[in-house]
Amino acid sequence: MSKVYINSVACISAQKTFDNSTFLDEVIAHDSNVISVVSPNYKEFIPPAAARRMAKGIKMGVVASKLALQEAGLENVDAIITGTGMGCVVDSEKFLSKLIDNNEEYLTPTSFVQSTHNTVGGQIALAIQCKGYNFTYVHCSTSFESAVIDAKLQLENNEEENILVGGVDESGEHTIKVHSLINHIKSENVKSSELLKSNTVGAVFSEGASFSVLSNKKQNTSYAEIADTQTFNTLPEKALEKTALDFLKENNLELSEVDVIILGNNGDIDFDHYYDVLSSGILKNTQQVYYKHLSGEHNTVSGFGFWLASNLLKRQEIPEIVKLNQKDISTIKTVLIYNQYRGENHSFSLLRKC
Amino acid sequence: MSKGVAITGMGVISAIGNNVAENYISLVEEKKGISRISRIDTVHHDAIMVGEINLSNENLEKTLGLTPENNYPRTALLGAIAAKEAVKNAAIDDINEYRTGLISSTSVGGMDMTEQYYYKYFEDSECQKYIDSHHIGDSTKKIAEQLGIQESFITTISTACSSAANAIMFGARLIKSGKLDRVVVGGADCLSKFTINGFKTLMILSDTYSTPFDEHRKGLNLGEAAAFLVLESDEVVKAQDKKVLAYLKGYGNANDAFHQTASSENGEGATLAMQKALKIADISPNDIDYINAHGTATRNNDLSEGRAIINVFGENVPDFSSTKAYTGHTLAAAGGIEAVYSILALQNNHIYPNLNFKTQMEEFTITPQTKAKEKELTTVLSNSLGFGGNCSTLIFSKKA
C-alpha cells in the first residue's frame, strides 16, 4: 500500500490564506455572526465573461484548484474529488425564488444548471480538461473527509497518481436567514477572540474553499502525509475517548505520540462539549489548537483544518493565534484533527510529517 | 478475471412498483408508470408527463412507522423504504454485527419541502423543522437511522444523474479494500417543482411518453424513485452462507469535460467509462450480453450514448434497451433502479424491451431491443450519464 502525501494546499477563507508565502502573519479580527472570505483576484484565473456567470462558490473552487495545481507543479490530474455540504446554494436560491415569485414562468436555465451539486467538480474538469474520475460528496460536515477517504483509497492502491481533492461551500442569503431562524447561527455578533467565551448557541457562519493535490509520490512541495481519515455518523460523548484511542491504535500510535490536536470548536455552547471531552480528558497534556475563530463554520471548513495541519507540519511552527494551551514541542511529527457539527458526523484525521 | 463484489440484497420503489417484485412484474408485462402529474401543483401539468410513485407522503410515513412530527422530505421517505427492502432481502437481522456503511445519493434532497415553505419559514414555526432537512446529506442520515446504522461510515454522493451508480461504485471500493464488511448503496430522488422547471428551461421535457433512441424523440419524462443494493465481503458471504444475487464485476467513471449539461457528440466520456469498467472487470466487450442504457430520450443523450456504445462495441453491439420509458428519468436514483433491473434481467434471463420506439435514428444503424427477449444472460452493463460531464458504467455478472 502506497503512502499518501499532500503535495499542495490552497485555501480561500475568511483570512488571507490563499497566499502560501505567508502563514497567518496578519489575522483579520472579525466581529460578526456571518463572515465572508477574503477573495483572491478571480480575474487572474478565470476569463471575465465566464466569471460573471459564476456564483462565488464556483469561482472559489475553480481558483483554489488552480492554485493547488500550480503549487504541485501540475497541469492536470488523474481525478477530481470534491466535497460540499450545501452545494451551489446561491444558484439554487436564485432559481427557486424566481420560480416561486413568478409562478414558474420567465425562468432561464443558467442558475438551474449551476445549482447542481457537482458543478464545481464539473467546472474544474472543464477548465483543465480532466477526463478522469470525478466525484462529488455532499454529506454535511464530513463532505470533505469523504472526498479524502475516496482519494486515499485510490492512491494507496496505485489506481491513480495525482488527485485534486477539495471542499467548497458558499453563503446564500436565504440559507443564512433560515438558519438564523432555527438558531444554528448566533443571534449576536461575536469577536473572533471571544468566540469560545460567547456562551451562546449557534455558530458564526462562513464560506470557503480549500483544494490540495494528493499523491502517492512525495515531492519537494509535499506538506505532510495523510495517515488516516475516518468518519462516524453518530458518536455518543461517552464513546469519544475510546474511538479516538482506537483510531490511534489502528495507526500504531500511542497517545503521547500526538504532538498537536486540532479541534473544531465553534463556540456553540450546545455542542462544544464534545471537544471538551478530549481537551480536558485524554488530550489534556497535548498542544491544542483551534481555528474556527479565524475561519467561521461551514460544512467543509475542515478543509481549513487540513490546511492548518499541513502548514504546522511543513513549517514546524504554531502561530500563537491558534493555540488553546501552551506546550513545549521540539518537532511536530503527528497532528490529530477532530471535528463534528451539531453533535453529528464526527471525523478523525491523522497527518504526519513527511 | 478479477473478483466481483457480492450483491446480497436489493430494494426498489418507483412509478412501476413499490418493491422489487412489483417492479419486475411491470417490466415483464410492459406496463409504463408514466402519467400526468398529480402530487405537485404545477403550471406545467398539461405540458409534461412524469413517472410518479403512487403513494402519498402520509402512506410512506405510515409504512415506516413515523410519528407526525417527523421531518422527512419525500426523498428520505422513498430512500428508507427501498433501503429497508434491500436489507431485508439480504437477510440481515443485526445491522451492526459487521462494519456496515451506507452510501446514498440524491440530487434534490429536501427540495420538495424547501420549495413549499421557502417564505413560510418566516411566518410559521411549525414548518421550520424542514429547514435542516434541506441539505442532501440529511436524507442519508435518516436512511441510516431507519436501518439502525450507528457509529459508522455513511456518506452521500451527488453527481446529478449518475449519482446512484457512483454510490454503488464507491461501495464496491470500500468492500474490496476491506474498509467495510458490508455496505448499503444506492440513491433516491423525489419529484419537485425545482427539477421540473429546471429541465423545462432546458427544453428537454417531452410533452408525451418518452421514446428513447427514436429518431423523433422529444425529450425525457421525469420520474421519482429510490433503489438500494447490499454489497458484502466474501468473508461475510462465506461466514453466513449468503445467497448471492449477482456480482458487481466492473465499474468506471469518467468525465466528458465538454459542457456543463450537454454530452459531447462523440460520447467520449461515456466511452471512457465503459472501457474502464470492462478493464476493471477484466472482460472483453464480447462478454457483455445486454446493455441497460441510460437512454433518457433527449436528442443529445441518445445520440452521444449511442455513439459511445458503437465506439466500444464496434460492429458487435449487444442487445440494448433503455427502461426510462417505464419509469421516467429518476435522476440520482436512475443508476440504482437500473442496477436492480440489470440484476433482475440476469436472474430471469430476460431482456426488457425499449418501449415506445418506432423510428430508427438517422445518425447510426444500431437499434434498441424493441421486444421482450428470453436469452441466457451472464453479464449486463448499465450506463448512467449526468450533468457536469459525469459518466458512469457498472457491470453486473452471474459469475464471481
Is the CB of residue B256 less than 8 Å from the CB of residue B263?
yes
Residue B8 CA to residue B90 CA, distance in Å, equals: 5
Nearest partner of B236 among B97, B347, B399, judged by Cα: B97
Location of C-alpha cell 453479464: B379
Q: Is residue B347 part of a domain?
A: yes
Q: Are residues B49 and B144 in the same domain?
A: yes
pLDDT at B398 over 60: yes
Q: Which of B181, B208, B239 is the last residue of a domain?
A: B239
Q: Is residue B256 part of a domain?
A: yes
Residue B382 CA to residue B244 CA, distance in Å, equals: 19
Q: Are residues B205 and B254 in the same domain?
A: no
pLDDT (0 to 100) of residue B2: 62
Query: Least CA distance to B389: which residue of chain A?
Result: A122
**pLDDT, tens only, A324-340:** 999 999 999 999 999 99
Average pLDDT score over residue span B74-102? 97
Average pLDDT score over residue span A239-254? 98
Burial A55-65 (b: 16+ CB within 10 A, else e): bbbbbbbbbbb
Nearest partner of A61 among A27, A33, A37, A92, judged by Cα: A37
Q: Is residue B209 part of a domain?
A: yes
Candidate list B134, B216, B259, B294, residue with the active-site label: B294
H/E element holding A312?
A: helix A302-315
Average pLDDT value for chain B: 97
Average pLDDT score over residue span B45-55? 97
Q: Are residues B171 and B279 in the same domain?
A: no
Q: Are residues B132 and B269 in the same domain?
A: no
* CB spacing of A134 vs B390 below 8 angstroms: yes
Residue A262 CA to residue A274 CA, distance in Å, equals: 13
May I ask the CATH architecture of the domain A5-215? Answer: 3-Layer(aba) Sandwich (3.40)
Chain A nearest-CA distance from B310, in A, is 19
Q: How many residues does chain B have?
A: 400
Residue A247 CA to residue A217 CA, distance in Å, equals: 25
3-state SS, residue A116: coil
pLDDT (0 to 100) of residue B3: 83
Average pLDDT score over residue span A168-175? 98
3-state SS, residue A272: coil
Residue A219 touches partner B, C-beta closer than 8 Å: no
Domain count, chain B: 2
Q: Is residue B302 part of a domain?
A: yes
Burial B240-261 (b: 16+ CB within 10 A, else e): eebeebbbbbbbbbbbbbbebb
Candidate list B135, B190, B216, B329, residue with the active-site label: B329
Active site residue B44: no
- CA B112 from chain center: how many Å? 19
Q: Are residues B16 and B128 in the same domain?
A: yes
Query: Least CA distance to B118: which residue of chain A?
Result: A97
Write a three-state SS string for chain B.
Answer: CCCCEEEEEEEEEECCECCHHHHHHHHHCCCCCEECCCCCCCCCCCCCCEECCCCCHHHHHHHHCCCCCCCCCHHHHHHHHHHHHHHHHCCCCCCCCCCEEEEEECCCCCHHHHHHHCCHHHCCHHHHHHHHHCCCHHHHHHHHHHHCCCCCCEEEECCHHHHHHHHHHHHHHHHHCCCCCEEEEEEEECCCHHHHHHHHHCCCECCCCCCCCCCCCCCECEECEEEEEEEECHHHHHHCCCCCCEEEEEEEEEECCCCCCCCCCCCHHHHHHHHHHHHHHCCCHHHCCEEEECCCCCHHHHHHHHHHHHHHHCCCCCEEEECHHHHCECHHHHHHHHHHHHHHHHHHCEECCCCCCCCCCCCCCCCCCCCCEECCCCEEEEEEEEHHHEEEEEEEECCC
Nearest partner of A308 among A223, A203, A202, judged by Cα: A223
Q: Whole-prediction pTM value?
A: 0.98
Average pLDDT value for chain A: 97
A31 pairs with which residues across the strands?
Answer: A191
Average pLDDT score over residue span A340-345? 98
pLDDT (0 to 100) of residue B166: 98
Query: Least CA distance to A101: which residue of chain B?
Result: B119
Active site residue B45: no
Q: How many residues does chain A have?
A: 354
**pLDDT, tens only, B288-308:** 999 999 999 999 999 999 999
CB-nearest partner of B255 from A96, A132, A184: A132
Q: B371: left (phi > 0), else alpha (psi -120 to 50), else beta?
A: beta
- CA B131 from chain center: how many Å? 26
Q: Which residues of A touch B256 (CB under 8 A)?
A: 131
Q: Is residue B244 part of a domain?
A: no
**What is each CA distance from B393 to A27, B182, B336, in whole angstroms?**
47, 22, 12
pLDDT at A171 over 50: yes
Q: Are residues B358 and B223 in the same domain?
A: no
What are the structural domain ranges in chain A? Answer: 5-215, 227-352
Nearest partner of B354 among B393, B296, B298, B395, judged by Cα: B296
Residue A102 CA to residue A353 CA, distance in Å, equals: 56
Residue A215 CA to residue A8 CA, distance in Å, equals: 10
Average pLDDT score over residue span A42-71? 95
| Mutation target vs A (from B175, B194, B197; most A CBs, 10 A cutoff) | B197
Nearest partner of B248 among B373, B156, B180, B336, judged by Cα: B336
Residue A256 CA to residue A285 CA, distance in Å, equals: 9
**What is each CA distance from B387 to A114, B134, B334, in whole angstroms?**
10, 21, 13
Q: Are residues B307 and B344 in the same domain?
A: yes
Q: Are residues B229 and B264 in the same domain?
A: no
Which residue segment(s) compose the domain that B297 sits in? Answer: 249-397
Q: Which amino acid is at B223?
A: G
Backbone CA torsion sign across A100, A102, A103, A105:
negative
Question: How confident is residue B261, by pLDDT bands cut at 50, 70 and 90?
Answer: confident
Q: How many Cα neighbours within 13 Å face the side chain of A30?
A: 26
Candidate list B127, B134, B135, B161, residue with the active-site label: B161
CB-nearest partner of B257 from A131, A154, A344: A131
C-alpha gyration radius of chain A = 19
Q: Which of B196, B217, B239 is the last residue of a domain?
A: B239
Q: Is residue B201 part of a domain?
A: yes
Residue B364, exposed/middle/buried by CB under 10 A (0-12, 13-18, 19+)? Answer: middle
Cell of A127: 477548465
| Mutation target vs B (from A2, A77, A117, A157; most B CBs, 10 A cutoff) | A117
Q: Is residue B31 part of a domain?
A: yes
Is the CB of residue B399 less than 8 Å from the CB of residue B282?
no
Domain containing residue B272: CATH number: 3.40.47.10
> In this structure, what are the phi and psi dihedrals at residue A180, rounded to the nearest 5 degrees?
-70, -40
**pLDDT, tens only, A209-245:** 999 999 999 999 999 999 999 999 999 999 999 999 9
Confirm whether the ipTM is greater than 0.90. Answer: yes
Question: How confident is residue B260, by pLDDT bands cut at 50, 70 and 90?
Answer: confident
- Among residues 180-199 of chain A, which lie with CB inside 8 Å of chain B? 181-182, 184
Q: Is residue B193 part of a domain?
A: yes
Active site residue B391: no
Q: Are residues B263 and B171 in the same domain?
A: no
Residue B276 CA to residue A208 CA, distance in Å, equals: 34
A5-215 and A227-352: identical CATH topology: yes
Q: Which of B208, B239, B270 is the last residue of a domain?
A: B239
* CB spacing of B119 vs A184 below 8 angstroms: no
Q: Are residues B271 and B316 in the same domain?
A: yes
DSSP assignment of A28-56, as one string? ---EESB-------GGGTS-HHHHHHS-H
> In this structure, what are the phi and psi dihedrals at residue B70, rounded to the nearest 5 degrees?
-65, 160
pLDDT at B96 over 80: yes
Q: How many CB pairs under 8 A join A and B?
A: 195
Residue B335 CA to residue A28 CA, distance in Å, equals: 46
pLDDT at A317 over 90: yes
Average pLDDT score over residue span B203-222? 98
Average pLDDT score over residue span B206-235? 98
Q: Are residues B179 and B222 in the same domain?
A: yes
Please tell me the CATH code under which domain A227-352 is placed: 3.40.47.10
* CB spacing of A86 vs B135 below 8 angstroms: yes
pLDDT at B1 over 50: no
